[in-house]
Amino acid sequence: MGSTPVQIGQRESDFSNPLGLLSDCHRRIERFLGVLLKLSETKQGGELEPSEAASLRAALDYFRDAAPKHTADEEESLFPRMRAAGALAGLADLESDHQLAETAHREVATLGRLWLAQGRLPEEPARRMTRLLRQLAEMYSRHIAVEDSEVFPEAARVLGAGELAQVGQEMKTRRNRTETER
């Protein structure tokens, strides 16, 4: 995996631009999912080089630690405000995607941690992991496109600067709270 490692805290936007920050998170989701899918497809549960194991661990950690915050940012901060403003009836579909992704990521994490612990993954669990990751890639492709091209622009139109600032503050608080809980 000769590419530059992706830093979990790396951001192009900050909390003063919550919609940009949410979109930046989509790029990280795509990159980490790409790492998982590439490893799963190319290694097929086989022995990992140390750098591959580190990449697998980093991607699993991202989806365990950071991705749930992103989902909470949308479902607890952004979507309720959009609903209150009468925007986008399709938010329930996006929330359903979040639930499906959470379930699939839990299984991928279990398989990935098993792979890391044992050094190999048996054939059927390896195939299952690849199937799950392909399903996630397909879902995220559609889901992220809708959010980036429809939801976030709509939020920028219907939510005032004060509401967006509140979303950003809630996002920041969510991350600070989890950092101090460790």
CATH code assigned at 70: 1.20.120.520
Range of the domain at 97: 18-176
3 pLDDT higher than 80: no
pLDDT score of 4: 40
Domain membership of residue 36 (yes or no) is yes
Please write down the HEC assignment for all residues of the chain.
Answer: CCCCCCCCCCCCCCCCCHHHHHHHHHHHHHHHHHHHHHHHHHHCCCCCCHHHHHHHHHHHHHHHHCHHHHHHHHHHHHHHHHHHCCCCCCHHHHHHHHHHHHHHHHHHHHHHHHHHHHCCCCHHHHHHHHHHHHHHHHHHHHHHHHHHHHHHHHHHHHCCHHHHHHHHHHHHHHHHHHHHCC
pLDDT score of 90: 82
Mean pLDDT within 61-67: 95
Q: pLDDT (tens digit, 9 = 90+) per residue, 89-128?
A: 689 999 999 999 999 999 999 999 999 999 999 999 999 9
Domain membership of residue 65 (yes or no) is yes
CA distance 158 to 1: 42
Percent of the chain with pLDDT over 70: 91
Domain membership of residue 42 (yes or no) is yes
* Number of domains the chain is built from: 1
Confidence of residue 11 (pLDDT cuts 50, 70, 90): very low
Domain membership of residue 12 (yes or no) is no
CA distance 19 to 168: 8
Mean pLDDT within 5-23: 74
Domain membership of residue 13 (yes or no) is no
Q: Tokens 């920041």 belong to which residue?
A: 172
Mean pLDDT within 65-76: 95
- pLDDT averaged over every residue in the chain: 91
pLDDT score of 178: 54
Domain membership of residue 91 (yes or no) is yes
